[in-house]
Every structure is written in C-alpha cells, then in structure tokens.
Amino acid sequence: MANPVLVKLTQDGRRVEVIDGWVCLAGVREADRLVPLAEHPNRQAIARSVPGATHAAGRLPLTHAEAAIAQGAMMAAQREFDASAAGIAQRIRLAVWAKTAADGVE
C-alpha cells in the first residue's frame, strides 16, 4: 500500500486523499477517476454550490489545483504494478469494462 496523498480537507475537517489510486474521503473509497465538471451530469448544481470547482471525484468537487494533485497521485499509483490477486482481478475488471463500453453493450 502506497502512502496516502492529501488532496484537501473538507469544511468539516475530513481528509480527501488518494490511497492506492483511489480518491478517498476519510479513508473510504470515493472514486477511481476524475470527471471534468463540463462532463458531469450535475455540473450546474456543483458550480453553484462550489465556485471554482473544475472536476469531481465521485461526490467530491475539486478545484483545478486539487484535481492536479489527485490526478498526479492516481497516475503514480497506476505505475506501481500490483501482482496480488486483488490487483490482477481489478485489471481484468477494467479490461472487461473497457471492452464492454467499446462494444456499446450496457
């Protein structure tokens, strides 16, 4: 397990961190990718409630600087090869999801 990378603290003091390639809120996995606000289905509400947000990680809005920190930490975690059963299973899941999306199957 890699060291957590702090992205920000929420208003109520919870830590938003990248842990093992996941954006986590208080240590609980929230998202494995960032969505640009322009592509988010709830972008208008997010923009109204969090001015300056440019990305979302699950339900967590992030500014440009915070998104850059999170993306960098997520990319660094991807470079570390996980040969465990869980790591192999995750790579298979991602490959199947990518193949399914490419084939247009839902």
Contact predicate 19/4, CB 8 Å: yes
In a domain, 101, yes or no: no
In a domain, 102, yes or no: no
Q: How confident is the model at residue 49 (pLDDT cuts 50, 70, 90)?
A: very high
**Mean pLDDT value of segment 55-77:** 94
Contact predicate 16/24, CB 8 Å: yes
**Mean pLDDT value of segment 6-24:** 95
In a domain, 90, yes or no: no
- Give the chain's length: 106
In a domain, 105, yes or no: no
pLDDT at residue 87, rounded to an integer:
80
Q: Return the percentage of the chain with pLDDT > 90, whole number.
A: 65
**Mean pLDDT value of segment 70-86:** 84
More confident call, 2 vs 41:
41
More confident call, 5 vs 88:
5
The distance from CA 105 to its chain's CA centroid, rounded to whole angstroms, is 24
Structural domain of 55: 5-80
Quote the CA–CA distance of 83 and 76 in Å, as a whole number: 16
In a domain, 59, yes or no: yes
Quote the CA–CA distance of 81 and 103 in Å, as a whole number: 27
In a domain, 93, yes or no: no
In a domain, 89, yes or no: no
Question: How many independent structural domains does the chain possess?
Answer: 1
Q: Tell me the whole-structure pTM to 2 decimals.
A: 0.72
In a domain, 66, yes or no: yes
Helix (H, G, I), strand (E, B) or coil at 35: strand
Contact predicate 64/53, CB 8 Å: no
Contact predicate 90/22, CB 8 Å: no
pLDDT at residue 53, rounded to an integer:
96
Quick check: 79 pLDDT over 80?
Answer: no
